[in-house]
């Protein structure tokens, strides 16, 4: 399995802030493969090798409760919640019901906030859900998007938050999904006009 996509600083791979980046990496363990155009699932491979897992998700080990089937379902549900379609909050709440967060008050220099952390037995899935909950609160969750073509999850840093495609230009392991789509639309229009 190629690791090329993780070795790049290209915009399609812009890291999400803080722990949301590990969520993004987790979501990208499933994608449409660049060369075969077929769905590719890295989860079984990653789970079979703790060293590779640690490289991909540093500091977030898998625990006893993190079965492959459960993680695959969590990944699918979180991907389905990207872009906040109808019912997305219920889906997240369903998961949070099984992984209750622990609230901690953090205070320093006269400022205080409440921080939500995974419960003591939460494992990887609980960490993912805690990070997702925090990102919903600070709004960064809504900047995570899946490319409509290759399904790669990228972090939209644009001011307007209107980025649609993972990238416009191929190279460094990225795809030119935006340009491919433009060409396709142009051809369709051209054909329709004939």
Residues that bind Zn ion (CB under 5 A): 147, 149-150, 152, 166, 175, 177
Minimum CB distance to Zn ion, residue 13 (Å)? 11
User: In sequence order, which residues have a C-beta less than 8 Å from that of residue 96 and are 6 or more positions away?
Assistant: 129, 133
Which run of H or E residues covers position 31? strand 30-32
Residue number with CB closer to Zn ion (27 or 130): 27
Residue number with CB closer to Zn ion (125 or 144): 144
Please classify residue 19 by burial: count the beta carbons closer than 10 Å to its beta carbon, then call 0-12 exposed, 13-18 middle and 19+ buried.
middle
Minimum CB distance to Zn ion, residue 152 (Å)? 5
Residue number with CB closer to Zn ion (81 or 147): 147
Minimum CB distance to Zn ion, residue 83 (Å)? 15
Minimum CB distance to Zn ion, residue 175 (Å)? 5
Cα gap 8→79, rounded to integer Å? 23
Please classify residue 91 by burial: count the beta carbons closer than 10 Å to its beta carbon, then call 0-12 exposed, 13-18 middle and 19+ buried.
middle
Residue number with CB closer to Zn ion (124 or 165): 165
Residue number with CB closer to Zn ion (65 or 173): 173
- Alpha helices by DSSP H, listed for 82-176, are 88-98, 123-138
Minimum CB distance to Zn ion, residue 145 (Å)? 10
Residue tagged 């329709």 (tokens): 192
Sequence length of the chain is 194
């Amino acid at each position: 399995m190629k690791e090329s996509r993780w070795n790049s600083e290209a915009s399609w791979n812009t890291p999400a802030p803080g722990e949301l980046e590990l969520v993004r990496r987790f979501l990208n363990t499933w994608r449409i493969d660049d060369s075969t155009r077929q769905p590719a699932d890295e989860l079984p491979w990653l789970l079979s090798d703790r060293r590779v897992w640690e490289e991909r998700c540093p500091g977030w080990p898998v625990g006893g409760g993190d079965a492959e089937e459960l993680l695959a379902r969590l990944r699918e549900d979180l991907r389905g919640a990207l872009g906040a379609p109808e019912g997305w909050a219920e889906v997240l709440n369903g998961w949070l019901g099984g992984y209750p967060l622990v609230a901690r008050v953090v205070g320093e220099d006269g400022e205080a906030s409440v921080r939500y952390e995974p419960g003591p037995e939460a494992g990887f899935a609980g960490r993912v859900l805690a990070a997702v909950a925090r990102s919903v609160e600070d709004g960064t969750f809504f900047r995570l998007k899946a490319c409509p073509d290759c399904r790669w999850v990228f972090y939209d840093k644009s001011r307007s938050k209107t980025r649609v495609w993972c990238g416009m230009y191929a190279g460094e392991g990225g795809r030119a999904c935006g340009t491919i789509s433009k060409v396709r639309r142009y051809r369709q229009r051209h054909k329709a006009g004939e």
